[in-house]
């Protein structure tokens, strides 16, 4: 089970009983094994519905859903759900069970041996940076919001599912801790490499978390399915353009670090850090942050430092402007697109 599995939706539609319009309409996309697909869209666009179709919490009206090449519609729902990690915004930890018992839920349902469950719980607690000795016997009421959310993720990971479904998992967390949990989840995902469908209504979170983003519009229609960079560079239509925001240029800059920019060669004279302007930035800085700092510093060019602290090159406002217009002119899927997923992870780890 440990291997991540590819998820494919084929023309999936859902109409709730007594509803005239479908909540999901002809949804098709494929999430490659081990990728994070973020489902994003305004409230009521059918994101939750889509997730619950995948683990068969609600019946599909038409279309097919394949997990690892096998239709979920022919699976026994309970058995299927035990094979799919499921995390919801309200977490839904069992208040009457300890952290350890909560995490052990699915392994117990699967009838694992006690020792194996114990070992697995320890492993997961360590994975989410909670001290097993201290946290295993605590009740959910004794945890902070962030800790609860992490336990929720650990519980979903317990039986090492090939697919994780996460419905606005950080929606109820304050912005500072949300950022921290996002970074943590990306680090975790780099280790466990699950196929993940991650729902949010926050486009910034989508850009940060997703290898690919599926934007839904009202009525559960797929507006665009692409990498974050492509969506920011070439929004499919006005709806997407408006949804990603007028600042999509800036958001795009956030996806690139200085390390990826073709900088202006510094004069040999100025290779000494001390000889340059006040602004000196490490190469992991995102272009967006660099721009912001340069604007605060009256548009002065910035020196980009390599890992040893030597000046690697110069960044000017004109160079950034050039980058933006070049990218916009590029054909879709060209240029830096291929490397975008790794870029996202680095950006995320850089902490936004």
- Binding partner of 248, given another protein, Mg ion, ligand ADP, none, CB within 5-8 angstroms per partner class: none
- For another protein, the binding residue among 82, 178, 212, 288 (CB under 8 A) is 82
| SS3 of residue 318 by DSSP | helix
92 near another protein, judged by CB under 8 A: yes
Query: Could you tell me which of 71, 35, 55, 8 has the C-alpha nearest to residue 195?
Result: 35
Joined together, the tokens standing for residue 215 give 């934007």
Given a contact cutoff of 8 angstroms between Cβ atoms, the answer to whether 253 and 324 are in contact is yes
For residue 48, state whether it binds Mg ion (rule: CB under 5 A): yes
Q: Which residues of the chain form contacts with ligand ADP (CB under 6 A)? A: 16, 19, 23, 41, 43-49
Q: Which does 80 bind (CB under 5 to 8 A by kind): Mg ion, another protein, ligand ADP, none?
A: another protein
Q: Considering beta carbons, is residue 9 or 23 the nearer one to ligand ADP?
A: 23
CB 163, CB 67: distance < 8 Å: yes
182-188: Cβ within 8 A, 24+ apart = 182/208, 182/209, 182/348, 183/348, 183/349, 183/351, 184/128, 184/129, 184/150, 185/153, 185/209, 186/345, 186/348, 186/349, 187/349, 188/127, 188/128, 188/153
Quote the CA–CA distance of 203 and 228 in Å, as a whole number: 10
Q: Cβ of 187: how many Cβ atoms within 10 Å?
A: 14
d(CA 29, CA 344): 21
Euclidean distance between CA atoms 23 and 55, whole angstroms: 17
Question: Which residue's CB is nearer to ligand ADP, number 194 or number 201?
Answer: 201
Question: What does the alpha-carbon distance between residue 342 and residue 350 come to, in Å, rounded to a whole number?
Answer: 12
Q: Which of Mg ion, another protein, ligand ADP, none interacts with 90 (beta carbon under 5 to 8 A by kind)?
A: another protein
Interface segment toward another protein; rule CB under 8 A; list 2-10, 15-23, 83-91, 284-292: 83-91
Q: Which is nearer to another protein, 81 or 288 (CB)?
A: 81
Q: Which is closer to ligand ADP, CB of 41 or CB of 228?
A: 41
Give the residue with the Cβ less far from Mg ion, 156 or 323: 156
CB of 303 to another protein, least distance (A): 47
Residue 229 partner contact from ligand ADP, Mg ion, another protein, none using kind-dependent CB cut-offs of 5 to 8 Å: none
Tell me how far, at minimum, the Cβ of 306 lies from ligand ADP, in Å. 44
Contact map string, positions 132 to 161, toward another protein, x by CB under 8 A: ------xx-xxxx----------xx-----
The backbone region for 157, taken as left when phi is positive above 0, alpha when psi lies in -120 to 50, beta otherwise, is alpha
Q: Which residues bind another protein (CB under 8 A)?
A: 55, 57, 77-83, 86, 88-97, 105-106, 109, 138-139, 141-144, 155-156
């Amino acid at each position: 089970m440990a291997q991540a599995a590819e998820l494919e939706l084929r023309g999936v539609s859902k109409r709730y009983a007594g509803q005239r319009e479908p909540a999901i309409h002809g949804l098709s996309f494929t999430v490659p094994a081990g990728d994070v697909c973020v489902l994003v869209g305004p409230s009521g666009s059918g994101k939750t519905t889509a997730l619950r179709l995948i683990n068969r919490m609600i019946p599909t009206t038409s279309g097919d859903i394949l997990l690892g090449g096998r239709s979920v519609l022919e699976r026994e729902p309970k058995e299927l759900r035990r094979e799919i990690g499921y995390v919801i915004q309200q977490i839904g930890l069992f208040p009457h069970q300890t952290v350890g018992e909560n995490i052990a839920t699915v392994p117990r349902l699967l009838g694992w041996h006690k020792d194996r469950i114990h070992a697995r719980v320890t492993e997961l607690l360590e994975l989410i940076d909670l001290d097993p000795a201290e946290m295993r016997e605590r009740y959910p009421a004794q945890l902070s919001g962030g800790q609860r959310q992490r336990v929720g993720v650990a519980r979903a990971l317990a039986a090492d599912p090939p697919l994780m479904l996460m419905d606005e998992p950080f929606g109820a967390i304050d912005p500072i801790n949300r950022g921290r949990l996002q970074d943590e989840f990306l680090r975790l995902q780099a280790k466990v490499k699950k196929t993940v469908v991650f729902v949010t209504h926050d486009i910034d979170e989508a850009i940060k978390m997703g290898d690919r983003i599926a934007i839904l519009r009202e009525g559960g229609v797929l507006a665009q399915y692409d990498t974050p960079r492509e969506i920011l560079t070439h929004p499919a239509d006005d709806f997407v353009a408006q949804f990603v925001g007028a600042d999509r240029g800036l958001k795009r800059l956030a996806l690139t670090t200085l390390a990826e920019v073709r900088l202006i060669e510094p004069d040999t004279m100025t290779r000494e850090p001390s000889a340059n302007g006040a602004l000196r930035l490490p190469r992991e800085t995102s272009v967006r942050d660099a721009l912001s700092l340069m604007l605060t510093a009256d548009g002065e060019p910035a020196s980009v430092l390599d890992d040893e602290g030597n000046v690697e090159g110069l960044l000017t406002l004109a160079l950034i402007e050039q980058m933006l217009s070049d990218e916009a002119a590029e054909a879709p899927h060209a240029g830096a697109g291929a490397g975008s997923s790794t870029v996202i992870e680095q950006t995320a780890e850089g902490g936004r």
